[in-house]
Structure 1
Amino acid sequence: MQLILNDEMEIMAYVKIGSAENGVDYDGPIPDGFLADFEPQKYKLIAGVIVSNTDYVTPEINPPTPTLTQQDGINAHFFKMALDFKKQLKEMGSNG
C-alpha cells in the first residue's frame, strides 16, 4: 500500500494496487475502519504507523445552490406557454 501525505503527515489518499506520485510505501497494521471510512486527513502517519487524527474535524459540506439566470426564467415562461397551448388544443379537440 502507498500513502499520499501532506506536510502534517495527514493521509490525503492511498492506493492498494500500483503506486502514486510521491506515495510512501506502507506495510504496517491498518486500523479498523480505515478502508471503509477513509476521508482525507482523518488519519495520520506517526512513527511509521497509521493512527486516527485527533485534530480531525468532519468538513461541513454545503450543497451548491443553483443560481437561475434570466435565460432560465425565459425558458420556463416559454415552456409554460407551450403546456398551456397544448392544454387549450386538447380542450378544443374534445369540445368539437
Structure 2
Amino acid sequence: MLIKVNAEKVILEYSTVGGLPDSIEYTGTIPDDFEAKFKPSFYMLQNDEIIENSNYVEPTDTPPDDSPTSVQEAINKLGEATAKMANDDNQIKSAINKLGLAVADLQQTKEVK
C-alpha cells in the first residue's frame, strides 16, 4: 500500500493500486477497518504502525462566506456612482438639446413677426 504522509506522519492519502505521487510504501499491518474509516488525517504512522490520530478533529461543514469583501463593496459603490454620473450626464445632454430646440423655435418665431 502507498501512503502519503505529512511532516507529522499524519496519513493524508493512500492507494492500494497504481501510483501515488510523493508517497511511501507501507508494508506493515493495516487496521481491519482502515478503508472503511479512512479520512484524511484520521490515521497516522507511529513507530512504523498505522494508528488512529488522537489529534484528529472532524472538519466542520461551514458554508463558505459569500458576502462581498470590503474591496468588492468599494468597487460596487464606484460602479453605482459611475452609473449615476452617466445617467446625470445623459439628463444634462437631453436638457441642453431641449434648450437648443427651444432657442431655435424662438428664433424662428422672432423672424416670422
Q: Normalising to structure 2: TM-score of the pair?
A: 0.54
Paired with 1:57 and 1:35, the residues of 2 have a C-alpha distance of 18
* 3-state SS of 2:12 partner: strand
Paired with 2:54 and 2:62, the residues of 1 have a C-alpha distance of 24
- Is 1:34 matched up with 2:38? no
Specify every segment of 5 or more residues in structure 2 that has no aligned partner in the other structure, as ranges. 68-113
Q: Per-residue CA shift, 1:3-57, capped at 9, x if unaligned?
A: 0001110000001002211111011111132101111110001111100101111
- Is 1:15 matched up with 2:15? yes
- Is 1:44 matched up with 2:44? yes
Counterpart AA for 1:28: G
Counterpart AA for 2:13: A
* Structure with max Cα Rg: 2
1:64 CA drift (Å)? 4.6
Aligned pairs for 1:11-90 within 5 A: 11-64=11-64
Q: Normalising to structure 1: TM-score of the pair?
A: 0.62
Q: Which has the higher contact order (CA 8 A, sep 6+)?
A: 1
Specify every segment of 5 or more residues in structure 1 that has no aligned partner in the other structure, as ranges. 68-96
Compared CA separation, residues 32 and 63, structure 1 to 2 (3 A): farther
Counterpart AA for 1:51: I
Paired with 1:6 and 1:32, the residues of 2 have a C-alpha distance of 23
1:65 CA drift (Å)? 7.2
Structure (1/2) with the larger helix percentage:
2
Aligned identity (percent) is 36
CA RMSD of aligned residues (A): 1.6
